[in-house]
Amino acid sequence: MSLRLSFLGTGTSFGVPQVGCSCRVCRSLDPRDRRSRSGAILAGDQGTLLIDTPPELRLQLLTAGVDRVDAVLYTHEHADHLNGIDDLRIFSMRQREPLPCYGPPETLARIREGFRYIFDQEVQSFEGTSKPQLALHPLEPGVAATIAGMPVLPLAFEHGFLRVFGYRFGPLAYITDVKAIPAERYADLQGLKVLVLSALWWRTHPTHLSIGEAVATARALGAERTYLTHLTHETGHAELEQALPPEVRPAYDGLCLEVTA
């Protein structure tokens, strides 16, 4: 199995630069310090999966040259991972069928509730206009599925009051917006070649891993390579890269990884 992971966005909910901020990272000329909201695209031998629909999705897809998405995986319902959902319209229009979307049952319920115009059959598009055509498919943690030709293992974690799903795809796992990975999940995350893990900043946070906590978690899991995402303007890419151990790297918007089983 061959996988290609492209980071569409690697920033926290405010993005980097933040509106109205003049800190050195927000003013940085290093393109790796410009972080849109977190999402990724995973291409396999038989299809392409989109992970989350952040608010900048249209621009992210154009930058990455993405012209096809076969399915969407949602991690949770927070706005920075969800509110680009209308940009899925182009894929259901082109493919002339509903685009399958997967995730935690409660997240899909919130999507149906919050974006009623998409799912309510009484809300019809005016002649000459369109809306996304989406098919929602709930997943259960620990129950493996095959989506877009790829093996997908959903794993549940705590994120404040929410349950968030991370996903394992054979040799690769993508886990964002978690405070911790409990010991009972370690067995599901052994033998990884690549681990993507969120890390907010060096300080502690009530619902997110700090950078130090993420590094300790990566070492405990023993992944060959770990990439940190969901980063803030408190750490620039270059300085963070120097501070991290060699097996842990900061991801950045546009970074592409090739992973083989």
**C-alpha to C-alpha distance for 200 and 29, rounded to whole angstroms:** 21
Instruction: State both tokens at 48.
Output: 């392409």
AA identity, residue 9: G
**C-alpha to C-alpha distance for 259 and 261, rounded to whole angstroms:** 7
Instruction: State both tokens at 244.
Output: 């991290």
Kindly report the CA angle at 172 between 166 and 175, in degrees rounded to 5?
A: 25
pLDDT single digits (tens) 204-226: 999 999 999 999 999 999 999 99
pLDDT tens for the 261 residues of the chain, in order:
899 999 999 999 999 999 999 999 999 999 999 999 999 999 999 999 999 999 999 999 999 999 999 999 999 999 999 999 999 999 998 988 999 999 999 999 999 999 999 988 766 666 666 788 999 999 999 999 999 999 999 999 999 989 999 999 999 999 999 999 999 999 999 999 999 999 999 999 999 999 999 999 999 999 999 999 999 999 999 999 999 999 999 999 999 999 997
CATH number of the 2-260 domain: 3.60.15.10
Q: Where are the domains of the chain?
A: 2-260
